[in-house]
Chains A and B, each alone.
Chain A
Amino acid sequence: MPDPLAPLLEGYAEDRLRLPFCEKCGKPHLYPRARCPHCGNASLAWREASGRGSLASWSVVHRAPSPDFAAEVPYTVALVRLEEGPQLMTRVVDAPEEALRLGLPLTLRFATMPGGERRPVFAPEGVSA
C-alpha cells in the first residue's frame, strides 16, 4: 500500500497544497487516508487547493515543546478550515493575537519549520509576505 500522506508531503516540498478529492462522491478530505472517509471509495484525485480558508481556532504557544522551538516562541498554532471544507493544523503568521477572531479570512503561504520541514502556514487576507 502506498503511504496515503505521500502526495500531500511531496506537494509541501514544492510549496503546493493539494487535496485528495474522492472520484466517487466528489468530496475532499484531510488528513489523507487510503480511502475516502465520507464514502469509503479508494479512488482519489489530488487537486490544488484554492489557498483560501478561515480561522477555526488558535493558541499562542509561550513555552517551547522542545529546544528546537525555543527561539520561535511565542508563535501561533492554528486550525484553519479550508474553503474546500477540510480542516488542518497550521500556524497563523503576520497577525497579532488581538487581530485573531473566528472566521478570519486567511491565505496560504509556505514556511520552513524549526525541524526543517516545509509546511503550509496562513496569514490574514491582504497582508503581503
Chain B
Amino acid sequence: MNIEIIELILITVLTAAMPLVIAAIGELVTERAGVLNLGVEGMMIMGAASGFAIAIMTGSSALGVLGGIGAGVALSAAFGVLTIFLAANQVATGLALTILGVGLSGLIGSGFVGMKRDAIAHLHIPGLSDLPLVGKLVFGQDPFVYAGIALVFGVAWFLKKSRAGLTLRAVGESHTSAHALGVPVRRIRFLAVLFGGACSGLAGAYLSLAYTPFWAPGMTAGRGWIALALVVFASWRPFRAFAGAILFGGATVLQLHAQAASFGIPGQALTALPYLATIVALVLLSLNKRRGAVAPAALGTSFIPER
C-alpha cells in the first residue's frame, strides 16, 4: 500500500467521524450541565435540511451553515423551555424533539430533493497541502473539520480550566448545592442546551453542505443517536469522545469499502454494523463503569428552585 492510499483512508475516516465529533461534543456539554437531550438526531437532521435549503436559496454556504446552526438552536430552545423552565420529562421531550425534527426536515427539504451544489471548498495552502501523507490530511480539509477539532480542544479547556466550566459542571453534579451558592442553575442549563443544539445543527449542516452535498430525507441515518452513545462511551470527556468518533468513523468507512468489495457478506449486515458496534461500545463501557467512570450526578433530573 502506498502513502497516497494511506492518506486517503485517514482523510475519509476523519471526515466520516466529524459529524459525530461535533454533535457529541455539543451533547457532552449539555449533559455535563445535567440535561439529557435525546433530540440530537432531530436537531441534526433539521440542521442538514435548513442548512441545505438556505444555501440553495441564498447561494451562500456561510449563510447555509448559519441556518443549520440556527435550526438546531431553535429546536433546542423549545426543548430547553419545556424541560428546564417547565420541568417536563427530559427523555420524553427529547424523543418528541427527534420525531418533530425528522418530520419538519422532510417538510423543509421536500422542495430540494435531487438538487446538487458544490461541496464547501477545502483549504489549500500551496506547498504545505502538497506534502506527502500529512499534506491533505492536516492542511487540506474543509472548514468543518478544523471547527470540529477546535471545538474538542475548546470544550476540553472550558470544562477543565475555566471558571465558567467549573460552574457548569457543578450545576450538573448537584443543582441544589449550586443553587445554594447563588449559581443561576436554570440559566446555565438553558445555555448548555442551546450550545448542544448549535453543535447538532452544525453537524447536520456538515452532512448536507460538505460530506454529501445534497439533501435526502433521513440522511442522518441514526448518527444523532450514535453521537449520544459516544458521549456515554467517552465517560463525558471531550478527547475520549473524539477518539470514539474516530473509531466509529473508521467502522463506517470499513463498512462502505466492504460493501463495495462485496465479500459475500449481505449489505444489510454491514449497514447494521455501526448500530451493533454502538451496543457493543455501550456494553464495554458498562463493564468499565465499575472502575469509576460515572455520569454527571444530576443528569436527567429537573430542578425546581424553592421560593
- Verify that A and B bind, or say they do not: no
State the A residues within 8 Å of B (CB): none
State the B residues within 8 Å of A (CB): none
